[in-house]
Amino acid sequence: MPCGSTCVERSLPESTGGGPSVDPLLDTAPAGFISFDDAGIIRLVNATLAALVGRPREELVGRHIDILLSVAARIFYSTHLFPLLRLQGHAEELYVPILRADGSSLPVMVNGMSRATDAGPAYDLVLMPMRERNRLEDDLIAARNAAQAAAAAKDRFLSVVSHELRSPLTGVAGFADLLLRERVGPLTEKQRGYVQRIREAAFYQVGLIEDILEFAAIDGERRGMAPIAVAVEEVVARTESLLAVRAAEDGHTIDRMPKPAPGAVMADASGVQQILLNIGVNAIKYSPPGTPIALAIERTSGRVRFSIRDRGPGIPPEQIERVFEPFVRLEVDAGGERRHGVGLGLAISRELARAMGGDLMIESTPGQGATFVLDLPAA
């Protein structure tokens, strides 16, 4: 804050050749000090301010305060700082850049007050350098620019993934399908086996790309997420129907309770469907052949819980949260086989659940299977 009228009055006696002399205490203050009259003419400057701007005191005293202000700062002085001093008698914590002798800018925090003198109003300002704030602002700008560059790089990456990778793979799968239909001639059994592997590998890669694109969409801004009242039986019946085909391939059955399922949930219909299919396929994948997959629905305390239980090896307690992390997957199933994938299915499912005001959890004991629970608000 300004030192007040006392120190200013002590600084006003005339010296022998340089205008008003300055109190030694004011000259050694860590902040700059300037006093000017109603016309904006500088009457007093301490040594600290003179050093900050790189000008001798004699070059400032008797000049208009504009000598210290850029064009923008002059406008601010005329429209804000000076009116405050005249009308309210004080101004507090104003950010003003002042000019050094070399033309560079020095940001300062200004506090000021007005006082009456025999010669008319006088205005005293204390100016505290803000080098640290200036550095922090530069850091923030640099961080913002880096974030924008990262976002642009992400967009370019997604464009490459979507157009440069997915499209050719879809073409590979399509031509493999034509070969399998023998549109261009018959295949030997060995050739058919090779083409089937090509087709399966292409579809597998397309699936991975779809997972990456979906995860990127959720990680940014979930597109089309509009929770509405969704009938539980409708979404569960569709899930059961879609899972039954995959389950039958390995001799599994889908045991669902209750049937039909009552009530509704507040959710995005396609989002719920995607989550249930993800965890259902996961349960089939990790269960021993021929074992049942349990699908249960329970309503309690304004919530609806969908649970899918497998009879697989289970998940160790220390691994439960890790399986929801992107690109993390369990290495082996019940038979000791390594599973393929990039580990995005469960990460996507949990993010979808939370975007709908719910959550996805796991209850598991090693050796006794795992239960995935989708919890959503009831409608």
Task: Give the pLDDT means over successive 10-residue stretches in the chain (379 positions).
Answer: 41 42 80 94 94 93 93 89 92 90 90 92 92 65 76 68 71 85 86 85 73 62 70 91 83 90 89 88 88 92 93 87 76 46 75 90 89 94
The pLDDT, as a whole number, for residue 125 is 95
Handedness of CA 318, 322, 327, 330 (dihedral sign): positive
In this structure, CATH architecture of domain 5-129: 2-Layer Sandwich (3.30)
Of 49, 25, 64, nearest in space to 127 by CA: 49
Length of the chain (residues): 379
Measure the CA–CA gap between 272 and 280, rounded to whole angstroms. 12
The pLDDT, as a whole number, for residue 322 is 85
The pLDDT, as a whole number, for residue 10 is 40
The pLDDT, as a whole number, for residue 355 is 87
CB 239 within 8 A of CB 277: yes
The pLDDT, as a whole number, for residue 60 is 94
Domain parsing of the chain, residue ranges: 5-129, 135-220, 228-377
Displacement of CA 254 from its chain's centroid (Å): 40
Of 205, 212, 222, 207, nearest in space to 154 by CA: 212
Measure the CA–CA gap between 242 and 263, rounded to whole angstroms. 21
Classified as helix, coil or strand, 75 is helix
The 10 Å Cβ neighbour count of residue 75 is 11
Our CA angle for 278, 197, 180, nearest 5°, is: 110
- Inter-axis angle of helices 345-355 and 189-220, to 10 degrees? 40
Beta-bridged to residue 120, according to DSSP, are: 117
Measure the CA–CA gap between 212 and 160, rounded to whole angstroms. 12
Say if 5-129 and 228-377 have the same CATH topology.
no
Question: Which strands make up the sheet holding 303-309, listed edge to edge?
Answer: 254-257, 293-300, 303-309, 370-377, 359-364
CA separation (Å) from 182 to 120, 177, 187, 201, 354? 103, 9, 7, 19, 47
The pLDDT, as a whole number, for residue 154 is 66
In this structure, CATH architecture of domain 228-377: 2-Layer Sandwich (3.30)
Max distance between CA atoms of the chain, in angstroms, equals 114
The two structure tokens encoding residue 103:
């033309």
Beta-bridged to residue 45, according to DSSP, are: 34
